[in-house]
């Protein structure tokens, strides 16, 4: 599977970079545990940045460093290699890692769908004059996703299937989210799957939503989670989980502060930040939705066999 090659390549890259910098682990001044978390710099990860700014990790005697990573493969490889004590990755990436026998374990929720049609942070978009009017019309079409065989194509297929269409003939094309709106405008694809802020960006240019795929795939879908490995001290894991829980709860009830913290670690324009649909950040992982994604991924061939979700999400 291509995913296995990506993870393996990323592991080699981390190994080639040498050991973890001394500043990333151990004790900080004052006796706090110094940890390094591998986190993608996107809207989804606002709670950990907000929690650090509010002192929630300090309260747990943790000196937190947040290191930006490019995606789930880099987060998984960094955690497995010991570069990160904790990291953030989407549900499918973690299921894939578990199936590959990697020692990953979820410690906190990461981000969830709002579950609301028209008000979610993930959508499938088409040009305004496209003959595609609904999710079922995506059958047989060319659709961009940011990564093949991952949560994007799994949830898009679920949207089409739920709407009465046949998803087997869809041609998925791998395109980074920032490149997708231009590809749609230029006619290189029939539709694009994107998340915020690219949903709002494309819609401001006239694109039209035909599917809210995260909301379609499962009620209150858990999209991504924070995880660790068996190398991490259990007491430190407990304290990190407590700090993340407080951070998630705070972010979910303080949207104005979320929009402010987005300006500190992303390159999203302030006027776009003011308009985007924010996700939900419940404290608890929706384990049933993780199982749904696992089952869909097996049915679609994204995963080779059924994964024991309980082994990933305690």
Query: pLDDT higher for 117 or 11?
Result: 117
Instruction: Please write the tens of the pLDDT for every residue from 86-145.
Output: 999 999 999 999 999 999 999 999 999 999 999 999 999 999 999 999 999 999 999 999
Mean pLDDT of the 249-272 span: 97
Helix axes 234-253, 46-54, angle to 10 degrees: 100
Q: How far apart (Å, rounded) are the C-alpha atoms in residues 82 and 193?
A: 33
Mean pLDDT of the 35-60 span: 97
Mean pLDDT of the 27-43 span: 90
Instruction: Please write the tens of the pLDDT for every residue from 266-302.
Output: 999 999 999 999 999 999 999 999 999 999 999 999 9
Residue 27: pLDDT band (50, 70, 90) is confident
Query: pLDDT higher for 142 or 70?
Result: 142
Residues across the chain: 314
The yes-or-no verdict on residue 314 having pLDDT over 70 is yes
What percent of the chain lies above the pLDDT cut of 90? Answer: 88
Q: Nearest 5°: CA angle at 235, between 234 and 236?
A: 90
* Token output for 292: 């749904």
Question: Is the pTM value of this prediction over 0.75?
Answer: yes
Which pairs from 262-271 meet CB under 8 Å and 24+ separation?
A: 262/43, 262/46, 264/49, 264/53, 265/41, 265/49, 265/66, 265/68, 266/41, 266/42, 266/43, 268/43, 268/197
Q: How far apart (Å, rounded) are the C-alpha atoms in residues 23 and 90?
A: 27
Q: Is 198 left (phi over 0), alpha (psi -120 to 50) or beta?
A: alpha
Secondary structure element (H or E) that encloses residue 4, with its range: helix 2-16
Mean pLDDT of the 14-38 span: 63
Q: How far apart (Å, rounded) are the C-alpha atoms in residues 302 and 263?
A: 35
Q: How far apart (Å, rounded) are the C-alpha atoms in residues 310 and 314?
A: 6
pLDDT at 18: 35
Whether the Cβ atoms of residue 151 and residue 121 lie closer than 8 Å to each other: no
Residue 196: closest CA among 276, 275, 110, 280:
276
What percent of the chain lies above the pLDDT cut of 70? Answer: 91
Which residues, other chains included, contact 202 with Cβ-Cβ below 8 Å and sequence gap of 6+? 125, 180, 181, 184, 192, 194
Lowest mean pLDDT among 25-39, 44-58, 139-153: 25-39
Mean pLDDT of the 234-263 span: 98
Question: Across all residues in the chain, what is the average pLDDT?
Answer: 91
Which residues, other chains included, contact 21 with Cβ-Cβ below 8 Å and sequence gap of 6+? none
């Amino acid at each position: 599977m291509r995913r296995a090659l990506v993870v393996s390549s990323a592991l080699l890259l981390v190994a080639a970079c040498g050991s973890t910098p001394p500043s990333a682990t151990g004790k900080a001044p004052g006796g706090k545990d110094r940890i390094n978390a591998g986190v993608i710099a996107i809207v989804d990860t606002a709670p950990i940045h907000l929690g650090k700014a509010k002192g929630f990790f300090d309260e747990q005697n943790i000196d937190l460093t947040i290191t930006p990573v490019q995606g789930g493969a880099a987060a998984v490889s960094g955690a497995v290699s010991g570069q990160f004590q904790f990291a953030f990755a989407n549900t499918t990436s973690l299921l894939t890692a578990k199936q590959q026998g990697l020692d990953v374990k979820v410690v906190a929720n990461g981000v969830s769908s709002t579950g609301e049609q028209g008000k979610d942070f993930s959508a499938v978009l088409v040009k305004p004059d496209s003959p595609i009017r609904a999710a079922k019309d995506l059958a047989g079409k060319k659709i961009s996703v940011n990564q093949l065989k991952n949560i994007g194509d799994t949830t898009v297929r679920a949207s089409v299937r739920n709407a009465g269409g046949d998803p087997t003939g869809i041609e998925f094309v791998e395109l980074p989210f920032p490149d997708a709106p231009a590809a749609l405008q230029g006619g290189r694809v029939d539709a694009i799957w994107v998340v915020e802020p690219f949903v709002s960006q494309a819609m401001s240019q006239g694109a039209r939503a035909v599917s809210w795929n995260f909301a379609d795939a499962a009620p209150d879908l858990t999209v991504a989670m924070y995880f660790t490995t068996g190398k991490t001290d259990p007491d430190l894991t407990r304290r990190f989980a407590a700090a993340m829980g407080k951070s998630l709860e705070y972010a979910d009830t303080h949207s104005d502060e979320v929009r402010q913290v987005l300006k500190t670690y992303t390159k999203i324009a302030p006027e776009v930040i003011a308009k985007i649909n924010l996700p939900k950040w419940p404290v608890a992982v929706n384990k049933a939705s993780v199982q749904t994604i696992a089952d869909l991924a097996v049915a679609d061939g994204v995963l080779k066999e059924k994964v024991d979700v309980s082994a990933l999400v305690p």
